[in-house]
Amino acid sequence: MNYFDNPNYSVIVVGAGRGIGRAAAVELAAQGVAVACFDSDAETARQVAEEIGSAGGRSVRAHLDVTEPGTLAPAVEKAMTAFGRVDALVNCAGITGRTNVPAHDVDPEDFDLVYRVNLRGALLLSQIVLPHMLKQRYGRILHVASIAGKEGNAGMTAYSATKAGLIGMVKSMAKDYVEQGITINALAPAVIRTPMVDALPQATVDYMTAKIPMRRCGELQEAAQMIAWIVSPACSFTTGFTFDLSGGRATY
Ligand SMILES: NC(=O)c1ccc[n+]([C@@H]2O[C@H](COP(=O)([O-])OP(=O)(O)OC[C@H]3O[C@@H](n4cnc5c(N)ncnc54)[C@H](O)[C@@H]3O)[C@@H](O)[C@H]2O)c1
């Protein structure tokens, strides 16, 4: 299914180097969208951008670390120079921090790092693309949150708190631009098999997967296609919302 009919449509994907971000970048490019592949891991961003280019798609890439504010503007300028506009941002940058840690053992330093990536990073990214979108009077912003932000995962205090914060931030931010053609939404996946999930203890993955009524993990392609639709012009009457991608775990 192709949701884009504008050949100049351009999307920035942050965290494009692997996992959900990579799948979204490849899917968007396959749908004819110009894709800026940004990641704190410059090498994987390069690989994805080259893969898109080899398949005939348009892409640029850059190192961007959401915890290093100075890396944001140069990356976005690169996308502006290459494509002339930024129609959408897909923010997949996220970390779990330490897991399997009961709340009384949470290291505040670890909490701060997870906060800087998952929540503060989302604010900074939004702030860097919004001026472009306001000029265009059009924009789509999608932050990937998590089911953990809706329900809380045991042993994942920092992750759950920052994802809940992201869901709240999206609700608020969306209202600021609701009359300016800009939608801001979140996505709450349950378990999608990616390197992030592979790095978790098996007990944590089992705990999360057991809660999914469909009794399976989500597929990368299921995430990528939903993301593509949410950041397309077709998704025009929904803002401030957290889309569910949880195999029936969350029905709200
Ligand atoms: N995989 C899942 O089951 C799942 C479930 C719920 C939510 N999520 C969320 O989806 C998003 C993507 O997850 P994933 O599973 O693909 O993870 P992943 O670890 O496989 O990929 C994350 C990407 O983000 C990049 N990144 C990390 N920190 C960054 C930073 N400071 N600045 C820029 N880029 C950075 C990484 O280099 C990596 O390429 C995350 O926000 C995650 O919390 C994933």
Ligand 1 contact, 64 CB (< 6 A): yes
- Per-residue pLDDT tens for 25-45? 999 999 999 999 999 999 999
Listed in sequence order, the residues at least 6 apart from 247 whose beta carbon sits closer than 8 Å to its beta carbon are 190, 212, 213, 214, 215, 216, 218
Whether residue 5 lies inside any domain: the answer is: no
Q: Which range (69-73, 196-200, 224-228) has the least confidence?
A: 196-200
Q: How confident is the model at residue 125 (pLDDT cuts 50, 70, 90)?
A: very high
The answer to the question of residue 198 being in a domain is: yes
Structurally, the chain folds into a number of domains equal to: 1
Helix axes 157-176, 121-136, angle to 10 degrees: 20
Tens digits of per-residue pLDDT, 178-192?
999 999 999 999 999
Ligand 1 center–CA 200 separation, angstroms? 13
139 lines ligand 1 (CB under 6 A): no
Q: What is the pLDDT of residue 1?
A: 80
Cβ within 8 Å of residue 35, ≥6 positions away: 10, 11, 12, 13, 16, 25, 28, 29, 49, 52, 57, 58, 59
The CB density around residue 29, as the number of other CB atoms within 10 Å, is 24
pLDDT tens for 78-106 read 999 999 999 999 999 999 999 999 999 99
Catalytic residue among 159, 177, 207, 252: 159
In a domain? residue 2 = no
- Residue 203 domain boundaries: 10-244
174 CA distance to ligand 1 centroid (A)? 23
- Judge whether 73 lies within some domain: yes
159 counts as catalytic: yes
Q: Looking at residue 24, which CATH number applies to its domain?
A: 3.40.50.720
Residue 1 is assigned to a structural domain of this protein: no
Q: Which pTM was predicted?
A: 0.98
Tell me the percentage of the chain whose pLDDT exceeds 70: 100
Q: In this prediction, what percent of the chain has a pLDDT beyond 90?
A: 94
pLDDT bracket for residue 74 (50, 70, 90) = very high
Residue 230 CA to residue 239 CA, distance in Å, equals 10
Ligand 1 geometric centre to CA of 39 (Å): 10
The answer to whether 139 and 181 are in contact (CB under 8 A) is yes
- CA dihedral angle for residue 119, residue 60, residue 1, residue 146, rounded to 10 degrees: -10
Q: How far are the Cα atoms of 56, 119, 235, 247 from residue 62, in angstroms, in the given order?
A: 19, 21, 28, 34
pLDDT band at 204 (very low <50, low <70, confident <90, very high): confident
Q: Say whether pLDDT at 63 is over 90.
A: yes
Ligand 1 contacts CB of residue 97 (under 6 A):
no
Nearest CA to ligand 1 atom 7: 146
Instruction: For residue 58, name the pLDDT band (cuts at 50, 70, 90).
Output: very high
Check pLDDT > 90 for residue 244.
Answer: yes
